[in-house]
């Protein structure tokens, strides 16, 4: 899970070491770069102080510390400078919120996997997986005996739901990625009707997941990560719809972590397709050569 | 450039290593498990005891029947009717041999009271004693039973925990039981799964706590609507109320919960009482489903809830058991609370609350460190020294709904449980079970305490191999052999009696207490036994585990060639009694001085 404005910080220390990679992406320059870390910290504090969403601070602190340490070390090795810690901080805090395990080691491992994936899994100089999505899915695939995710937190009530919807919408709107969230939500609701018709369960049970607060964190922040979403707004909407569609299929197969898995597979695929399309454009040497008019204007 | 390439290779190798960590963790943790199904001799030699399931040979062929509730709940009947199998131990006729009471939960089904025949067999006498036909239409069904001598006449009386009309039966000198529910002042309907006898105000008369699960205005057989489910999976506060019935001494009870500071609508599933601070007043621990546990500290007849300040009431889970045990032989009671763990879905982990050293009462969850954390969909658990080595072991039963082995309900459960309260709280929104299992066919856990801070699961090795949907477990020396036997009540399954054979060499000692100034059952009395430089604290319980009650006699394992220094009994009245010159392998009957 990486809030959209990670881009502001994440872009600079990106080990791709090729600033032109980010050309063509919409720069949420209007957004204060410290807002997303602050926002997600407030979510964590409010959630834990009001509902005790964490079993203790130690695991979340471990996840954060591990993520920052890994980012610092790997960034220094690859970029020969100390990266800004905001991105790693958000990845770590995301792991702390989304991962559930009574043990400590999964939190450290998940953070390490998340950050290291940015440096180890690259294509044409770009990392293609949302870091915390990769880390959490890797844990769910490989360590299912020890971890779970998307646990029921925040009390299943409307107050928490409303807070996250409002604040999340504001953040995503200002980051110019509300189209992704909106497309996904519309598709999810449409697919929930179809699923209810197919499986014969009450529609309320099919739409229930999207009413859970933790699911909304996924919708607002993980889906909209600028580093791992495609460039065009139409493309973003298409990818959001594709994620909802694959999630639909996973859900028909009774996959509990359907949204995380759908993003895990669709997100990188969309980026690879985008790179391939870019590379076939006349005169294009590489993705990085595509000019970004908005960035240029900025 | 070359440096960067080397770094890339290294980071790739490092990344691959990270991906391999879960496999390594699983591989090495599996190495700690014991080999399944060796013969009894091997188990005796290696672990010091073995269990043999002897229910049929002992004359017990009881199979629990689950309730069938309002037809509006048909789709999720396996889930809403998933409790009711319970077992409690009582010597109802004071013959010195433990008897077994087991509940049934279908309308019209009969509860059984198995009288101990002293020869290894039991005879069901519930019908002739008048406590069999207690699940009649319109009165609800049984969920458990706790025994206590509320009128101090020397015979244990029966409180029947029900979804329905709660019942109090007076024990008529072991010859029969008389229903006295109305005279006692019990309310007409409680949907409860837990209750405990304890003398909260120290007046020498047993009081009764009852923890509601479903709200008391819900008749599960005649629902007004389907909005009777918890409104949250972790923060539900729309369950049944709590009752504390103060014993007035004339066969009447006064409900005083609000007056003494107990006010909660969490979904209570288990409770137990013990003096956790050494104040002389028993405290009350409640394990709640769909939420945090509650610890009501007794300030001398008035309680204050201290779950958060003591650390036990912070993280919401699915509490289903409360058992006390002095697992480190240090004279302090730890608390075991069972929860849900399902691989890849929900890893709550069971809690083992170990008291910190220091003056303030604070607990740390050491379940993981000690190896008793993951027990599947856990229900009842009890501490007891199964091999008489001087360390308390832990027996845990589990398994929620065992139907079709190939099809699981977990996906549907998870998608609704994470939804908004308006969805989760209405049973009509829950997908139908359609014969699927939910954490079914689970292997039980018998965790052997090595005395050095680790518990080893030896269930399969010692013979606890059933995979029924275990609910309630009770421990008792059923055959007066000096070994703790195990009785397990299974939902929609047979009552299992595991006869325990302990390898020769390890000694034991047992105490049967009778109060005079204190309540005659001596419930709440604590015995500190000192031997071989160790000290172990145990107490007489008025109900513990999940819907169960162990034998009131207190059993200590002593290990080999023990030198017993003394036993100090602290009676509920505050009287302290020291017993010297004790010898092993004996049952001591002690009357309060």
* Residues A254, B292: C-beta atoms closer than 8 Å: no
pLDDT of the residue at A175: 84
* Residues A211, B423: C-beta atoms closer than 8 Å: yes
What distance in Å separates residue A102's CA from the closest CA in chain B? 6
Written as six digits, the tokens of B132 are 């069999």
* Residues A205, B343: C-beta atoms closer than 8 Å: no
Contacts of A204 in chain B (CB under 8 A): 419, 423, 426, 429
**Which of A:127-186 have CB within 8 Å of B?**
138-140, 142-148, 150-153, 155-158, 161
pLDDT of the residue at B314: 83
Q: Which of B56, B82, B105 is nearest to B471 (CA)?
A: B82
Q: Which of B231, B272, B251, B257 is nearest to B144 (CA)?
A: B272
pLDDT of the residue at B4: 56
B495: how many CB neighbours lie within 10 A of its CB? 22
The per-residue b/e assignment along B337-371, b for 16 or more CB within 10 angstroms, e otherwise, is: bbbbbbebbbbbbbbbbbbeeeeebbbebbbbebb
pLDDT of the residue at A289: 35
pLDDT of the residue at B9: 87
pLDDT of the residue at B30: 56
How high does pLDDT run on average in chain A?
Answer: 80
* Residues A150, B429: C-beta atoms closer than 8 Å: no
B24 interface with A at CB cutoff 8 Å: no
Q: What is the pLDDT of residues A99-128, one digit of tens each?
A: 888 788 999 999 999 999 999 998 888 889
Contacts of B353 in chain A (CB under 8 A): none
What distance in Å separates residue B413's CA from the closest CA in chain A? 9
pLDDT of the residue at A297: 32
pLDDT of the residue at A28: 43
Q: What is the pLDDT of residues B251-266, one digit of tens each?
A: 999 999 999 999 999 9
Nearest residue, CB atoms, B412 vs list A103, A143, A205: A205
CA distances (Å), A188 to each of A137, B109, B456, B581, in order? 20, 47, 46, 75
* Residues A199, B429: C-beta atoms closer than 8 Å: no
What distance in Å separates residue B592's CA from the closest CA in chain A? 44
A82 interface with B at CB cutoff 8 Å: no
* Residues A204, B26: C-beta atoms closer than 8 Å: no
Instruction: Using CA coordinates, name the residue in chain A closest to B407.
Output: A254
pLDDT tier at A283 (50, 70, 90 boundaries)?
A: low
Nearest residue, CB atoms, A148 vs list B22, B234, B347: B347
- Taking a C-beta distance cutoff of 8 angstroms, is the pair B187, B240 a contact? no
* Residues B423, A144: C-beta atoms closer than 8 Å: no
Counting as low any pLDDT under 50, the low residues of chain B are 1, 31
* DSSP-derived 3-state class of residue B321: coil
Cβ-proximal residues to B529 (8 Å cutoff; 6+ apart), any chain = B509, B535, B536, B538, B556, B564, B566, B567
pLDDT of the residue at B159: 98
Q: What are the strands, taking DSSP E only, across B275-392? A: 283-289, 294-298, 303-305, 323-325, 334-337, 341-342, 346-347, 351-355, 363-365, 378-384
Q: Which of B544, B374, B549, B551 is nearest to B455 (CA)?
A: B374
d(C-alpha B571, C-alpha B526), whole Å: 7
What distance in Å separates residue A236's CA from the closest CA in chain B? 26
A184: how many CB neighbours lie within 10 A of its CB? 28
Contacts of B316 in chain A (CB under 8 A): 51-52
The CB-based long-range contact list for A288-292 (8 Å cut-off, 24+ gap) reads: A288/A18, A288/A20, A288/A21, A288/A23, A288/A124, A288/A125, A289/A20, A290/A23, A290/A24, A291/A23, A291/A24, A292/A22, A292/A23, A292/A24, A292/A25
Question: Counting beta carbons within 10 angstroms of the beta carbon of residue A119, is it exposed (0 to 12), middle (13 to 18) or buried (19 or more)?
Answer: buried
Q: What is the pLDDT of residues B200-213, one digit of tens each?
A: 999 999 999 999 99
- Taking a C-beta distance cutoff of 8 angstroms, is the pair A147, A181 a contact? no
Question: Torsion over CA of B266, B269, B273 and B276, rounded to 10 degrees?
Answer: -70
What distance in Å separates residue A215's CA from the closest CA in chain B? 9
Strands B363-365 and B351-355: antiparallel
Residue A25 has pLDDT above 70, yes or no: no
* Residues B415, A156: C-beta atoms closer than 8 Å: no
Supply the Cα-derived Rg of chain B in whole angstroms: 24
Tell which of A136, A256, A260 to mutate to test the B interface (max B CBs under 10 Å): A256
Tell which of A58, A79, A152 to mutate to test the B interface (max B CBs under 10 Å): A152
pLDDT of the residue at A286: 45
Please state the rounded mean pLDDT for residues A192-217: 90
CA distances (Å), A204 to each of B105, B321, B413, in order? 31, 32, 13
What distance in Å separates residue A253's CA from the closest CA in chain B? 9
The region of weakest confidence among A7-16, A75-84, A195-204 is: A7-16
What distance in Å separates residue A196's CA from the closest CA in chain B? 10
* Residues A209, B415: C-beta atoms closer than 8 Å: yes
**Which of B:312-351 have CB within 8 Å of A?**
314-316, 343-349
A283 interface with B at CB cutoff 8 Å: no
DSSP letters of B107-129?
A: TT---EEEEE-SSS-EEE-HHHH
d(C-alpha A195, C-alpha A15), whole Å: 42
The pTM of this model reads 0.91
Nearest residue, CB atoms, B4 vs list A78, A102, A157: A78
* Residues B414, A256: C-beta atoms closer than 8 Å: yes
Contacts of B25 in chain A (CB under 8 A): 105, 143, 146
What pairs with residue B322 in β-bridges?
Answer: B545
pLDDT of the residue at B205: 98
Contacts of B234 in chain A (CB under 8 A): 51, 151-153, 155-156
Q: What is the pLDDT of residues A30-88, one digit of tens each?
A: 556 677 788 778 877 877 776 666 766 888 899 999 999 999 999 988 878 888 888 89
Nearest residue, CB atoms, B429 vs list A55, A116, A204: A204
A58 interface with B at CB cutoff 8 Å: no
pLDDT of the residue at B88: 98
What distance in Å separates residue A67's CA from the closest CA in chain B? 14
pLDDT of the residue at A5: 31
The per-residue b/e assignment along B130-164, b for 16 or more CB within 10 angstroms, e otherwise, is: bbbebbeeebbbbbbbbbbbbbbeebbbbbbbbbb
d(C-alpha B276, C-alpha B297), whole Å: 8
* Residues B432, A201: C-beta atoms closer than 8 Å: yes
Instruction: Using CA coordinates, name the residue in chain A closest to B237.
Output: A155
Contacts of A108 in chain B (CB under 8 A): none
What distance in Å separates residue B391's CA from the closest CA in chain A? 26
* Residues A74, B343: C-beta atoms closer than 8 Å: no
* Residues B348, A152: C-beta atoms closer than 8 Å: no
Q: What is the pLDDT of residues B138-172, one digit of tens each?
A: 999 999 999 999 999 999 999 999 999 999 999 99
The per-residue b/e assignment along A48-68, b for 16 or more CB within 10 angstroms, e otherwise, is: beebbbbbeeebbebbbbbbb
d(C-alpha B442, C-alpha B33), whole Å: 15
ipTM of model: 0.86
**Which of A:223-262 have CB within 8 Å of B?**
251, 254-256
Q: How many Å from the N-terminal Cα to the C-terminal Cα in chain B?
A: 88
pLDDT of the residue at A214: 67
B56: how many CB neighbours lie within 10 A of its CB? 10
Tell which of A114, A147, A208 to mutate to test the B interface (max B CBs under 10 Å): A208
**Which of B:403-432 have CB within 8 Å of A?**
408, 410-412, 414-424, 426, 428-432
* Residues B430, A145: C-beta atoms closer than 8 Å: no
CA B477 to mean position of chain CA atoms: 17
pLDDT of the residue at B537: 98
């Amino acid at each position: 899970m990486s809030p959209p404005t990670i881009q502001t910080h994440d872009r600079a220390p990106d080990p791709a070491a090729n600033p032109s990679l980010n050309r063509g992406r919409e720069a949420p320059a209007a957004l204060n770069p410290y807002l997303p870390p602050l926002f997600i910290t407030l979510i964590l504090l409010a959630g834990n102080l009001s509902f005790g969403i964490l079993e203790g601070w130690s695991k979340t602190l471990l996840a954060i510390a591990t993520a920052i340490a890994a980012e610092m070390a790997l960034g220094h090795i690859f970029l020969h400078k100390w990266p800004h810690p905001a991105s790693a901080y958000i990845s770590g805090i995301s792991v702390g919120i989304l991962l559930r395990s009574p043990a400590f080691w999964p939190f450290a491992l998940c953070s390490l996997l998340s950050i290291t994936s940015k440096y180890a899994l690259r294509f044409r100089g770009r990392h293609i997986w949302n870091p915390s999505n990769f880390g959490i899915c890797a844990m769910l695939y490989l360590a299912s005996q020890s971890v779970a995710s998307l646990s029921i937190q925040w009390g299943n009530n409307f107050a928490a739901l409303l807070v996250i919807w409002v604040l999340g919408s504001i953040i995503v709107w200002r980051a110019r990625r509300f189209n992704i969230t909106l497309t996904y939500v519309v598709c999810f609701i449409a697919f929930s009707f179809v699923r209810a018709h197919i499986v014969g369960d009450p529609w309320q049970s099919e739409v229930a997941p999207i009413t859970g607060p933790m699911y909304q964190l996924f919708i607002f922040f993980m889906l909209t990560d600028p580093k791992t979403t495609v460039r065009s707004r139409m493309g973003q909407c298409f990818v959001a719809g594709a994620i909802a569609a694959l999630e639909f299929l996973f859900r028909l197969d009774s996959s509990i972590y359907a949204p995380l898995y759908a993003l895990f597979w669709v997100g990188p695929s969309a980026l690879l397709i985008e790179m391939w399309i870019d590379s076939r454009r006349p005169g294009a040497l590489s993705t990085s050569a595509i000019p970004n008019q908005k960035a240029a204007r900025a | 450039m070359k440096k960067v390439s080397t770094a890339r290779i290294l980071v790739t190798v490092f990344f691959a290593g990270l991906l391999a960590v879960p496999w390594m963790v699983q591989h090495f943790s599996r190495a700690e498990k014991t080999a399944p199904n060796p013969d009894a001799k091997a188990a005796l030699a290696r672990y010091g005891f073995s269990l043999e399931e002897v229910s049929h040979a002992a004359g017990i062929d009881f199979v629990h029947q689950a309730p069938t509730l309002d037809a509006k709940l048909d789709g999720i009947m396996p889930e809403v009717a998933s409790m009711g199998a319970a077992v409690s131990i009582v010597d109802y006729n004071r013959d010195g041999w433990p008897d077994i009471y087991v509940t049934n939960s279908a309308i019209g089904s009969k509860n059984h009271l198995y009288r101990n025949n002293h020869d290894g067999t039991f005879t069901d006498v519930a019908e002739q004693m008048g406590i069999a036909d207690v699940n009649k239409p319109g009165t609800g069904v049984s969920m458990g039973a706790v025994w206590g001598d509320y009128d101090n006449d020397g015979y244990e009386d029966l409180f029947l925990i029900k979804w329905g009309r709660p019942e109090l039966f007076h024990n008529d000198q072991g010859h029969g039981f008389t229903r006295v529910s109305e005279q006692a002042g019990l309310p007409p309907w409680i949907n409860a799964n837990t209750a405990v006898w304890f003398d909260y105000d120290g007046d020498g008369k047993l009081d009764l706590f009852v923890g509601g699960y479903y709200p008391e205005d819900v008749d599960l057989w005649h629902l007004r609507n389907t909005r009777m489910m918890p409104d949250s999976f972790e923060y539900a506060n729309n369950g049944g109320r709590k009752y504390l019935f103060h014993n007035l001494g004339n066969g009447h009870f006064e409900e005083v919960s609000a007056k003494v500071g107990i006010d909660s609508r969490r979904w209570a599933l288990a409770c137990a009482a013990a003096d956790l601070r050494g104040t002389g007043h028993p405290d009350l621990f409640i394990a709640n489903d769909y939420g945090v546990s509650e610890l009501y500290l007794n300030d001398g007849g008035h309680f204050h809830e201290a779950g958060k300040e003591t650390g036990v009431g912070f993280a919401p889970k699915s509490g289903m058991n409360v058992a006390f045990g002095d697992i480190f032989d240090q004279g302090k009671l730890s608390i075991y609370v069972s929860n849900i763990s399902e691989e890849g879905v929900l890893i709550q982990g069971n809690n083992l609350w170990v008291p910190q050293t220091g003056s303030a009462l604070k607990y740390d969850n050491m379940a993981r460190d000690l190896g008793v954390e993951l027990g599947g969909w856990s229900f009842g658990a009890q501490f007891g020294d199964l091999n008489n080595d001087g360390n308390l072991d832990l027996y845990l039963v589990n398994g929620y709904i065992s139907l079709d082995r190939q099809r699981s309900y977990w996906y549907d459960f998870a998608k609704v449980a994470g939804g908004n309260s308006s969805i989760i709280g209405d049973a009509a929104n829950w997908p139908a079970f359609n014969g699927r299992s939910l954490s079914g066919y689970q292997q039980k856990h018998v965790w052997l305490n090595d005395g050095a801070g680790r518990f080893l699961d030896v269930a399969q090795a010692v013979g606890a191999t059933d995979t029924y949907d275990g609910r309630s477990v009770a421990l008792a020396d059923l055959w007066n052999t000096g070994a703790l036997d195990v009785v397990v009540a299974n939902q929609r399954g047979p009552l299992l009696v595991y006869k325990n054979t302990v390898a020769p060499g390890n000694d034991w000692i047992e105490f049967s207490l009778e109060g005079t100034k204190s309540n005659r059952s001596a419930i709440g009395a604590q015995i500190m036994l000192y031997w071989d430089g160790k000290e172990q604290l145990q107490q007489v319980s008025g109900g513990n585990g999940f819907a169960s009650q162990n034998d009131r006699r207190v059993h200590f394992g002593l290990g080999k060639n023990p030198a017993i220094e003394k036993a100090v009994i602290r009676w509920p009245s505050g009287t302290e009694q020291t017993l010297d010159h004790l010898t092993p392998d004996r049952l001591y009957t002690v009357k309060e001085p």
